[in-house]
């Protein structure tokens, strides 16, 4: 894999000494704000988001190879990072306009990539909702959008991480059996299509093709819903891995800490050569209640005990399962 000097430096900044990406995701905005206010609705939305992120950066970010933040609420948190921790900045606005067909993407208001680069970002992340069976015109808009961001990253010589997130254009619920059956084909499409040169993507951040609780035999989970045999699931993991021409990392996708760790070991056993992870809620989600209901010291105490415990379990799993990025 040949990268330009700036992109190469960015990749090194966000990876650990073994060339594996162990990044913590802290770019949640709307969903996080709602969760904080569900515990204490007197909390100010903006300042509580900034403060929560600051704690995560200080404790968890500094024990990761890099931290993903957003430019809307994340700059105070970015200041908490040690110099050897890579900073990944989200470029998309949170969520999408549900009144509009196709979940079209939108960029943050006040920052171009050159601004994010000047403010110390090692990499740019773009999330885009995508279903390859969606109307052709909608997908053409999205493809062009990705290419534009890819070009902007090239222009500024900064690493480009694309996060295509699957959804159903038929309206299936993300947790439904019907959607789980369609999901492997969507992830296969992501791996093959978005690792083409024309998009300028350097790293893919992707969902796993099959959730661990949808695999036969993993009945220890409350949300167990066996849809695929172990062999079928392994084939999907392996096929997706083989299709990617760029390094790729897994996102945790809102599963529990235990489920995400089990997923990483399953992926390894399937022969998937993933290069790390960008894990968020599986590490810090339980800390939202501590933040909302305790003082700052109480929140930091949770981060330093339970938060670090969650982080280190994922870190150990990543070290045991991920493949180093080959330069």
- CA distances 108 to 70, 88, 254, 275, 280, Å, are 9, 15, 23, 28, 20
Query: Which of 171, 167, 213, 203 is CA-nearest to residue 187?
Result: 167
Please provide the size of the chain in residues: 327
Closest CA relative to residue 49, chosen from 60, 35, 66 = 35
pLDDT of the chain along its 327 residues, tens only? Answer: 689 999 999 999 999 999 999 999 999 998 999 999 999 999 999 999 999 999 999 999 999 999 999 999 999 999 999 999 999 999 999 888 877 889 999 999 999 999 999 999 999 999 999 999 999 999 999 999 999 999 999 999 999 999 999 999 999 999 999 999 999 999 999 999 999 999 999 999 999 999 999 999 999 999 999 999 999 999 999 999 999 999 999 999 889 999 999 999 999 999 999 999 999 999 999 999 999 999 999 999 999 999 999 999 999 999 999 999 987
Residues 6 or more apart whose Cβ sits within 8 Å of residue 130: 139, 142, 164, 165, 166, 167, 186, 190
Burial class (CB in 10 A: 0-12, 13-18, 19+), 211: buried
Burial class (CB in 10 A: 0-12, 13-18, 19+), 83: exposed
């Amino acid at each position: 894999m040949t990268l330009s000097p700036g992109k190469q430096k960015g990749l090194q900044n966000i990876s650990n000494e073994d060339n594996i990406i162990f990044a913590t995701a802290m770019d949640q905005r709307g969903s996080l704000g709602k969760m904080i206010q569900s515990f204490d609705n007197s909390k100010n939305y903006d300042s509580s988001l900034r403060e929560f992120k600051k704690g995560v950066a200080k404790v968890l970010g500094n024990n990761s190879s890099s931290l993903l933040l957003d430019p809307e609420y994340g700059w105070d948190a970015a200041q908490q990072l040690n110099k050897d921790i890579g900073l990944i900045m989200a470029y998309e606005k949170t969520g999408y306009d549900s009144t509009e067909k196709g979940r079209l993407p939108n960029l943050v208001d006040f920052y171009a990539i050159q601004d994010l680069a000047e403010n110390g970002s090692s990499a740019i992340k773009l999330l885009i909702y995508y279903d390859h069976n969606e109307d052709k015109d909608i997908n053409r808009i999205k493809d062009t959008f990705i290419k534009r961001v890819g070009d902007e990253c090239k222009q500024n010589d900064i690493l480009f991480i694309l996060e295509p997130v699957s959804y159903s254009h038929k309206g299936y619920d993300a947790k439904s059996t019907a959607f789980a059956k369609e999901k492997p084909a969507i992830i296969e499409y992501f791996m093959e299509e978005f690792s083409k040169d024309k998009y300028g993507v350097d790293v893919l951040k992707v969902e796993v093709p099959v959730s661990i609780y949808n695999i036969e035999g993993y009945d220890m989970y409350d949300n167990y819903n066996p849809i695929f045999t172990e062999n079928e699931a392994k084939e999907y993991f392996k096929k997706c891995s083989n299709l990617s021409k760029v390094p790729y990392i897994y996102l945790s996708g809102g599963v529990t800490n235990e489920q995400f760790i089990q997923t990483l070991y399953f992926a390894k056993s399937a022969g998937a050569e993933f290069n790390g992870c960008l894990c968020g809620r599986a590490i810090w989600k339980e800390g939202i209640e501590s933040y909302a209901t305790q003082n700052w010291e109480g929140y930091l105490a949770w981060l330093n005990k339970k938060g670090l415990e969650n982080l280190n379990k994922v870190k150990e799993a990543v070290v045991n399962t991920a493949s180093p990025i080959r330069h």
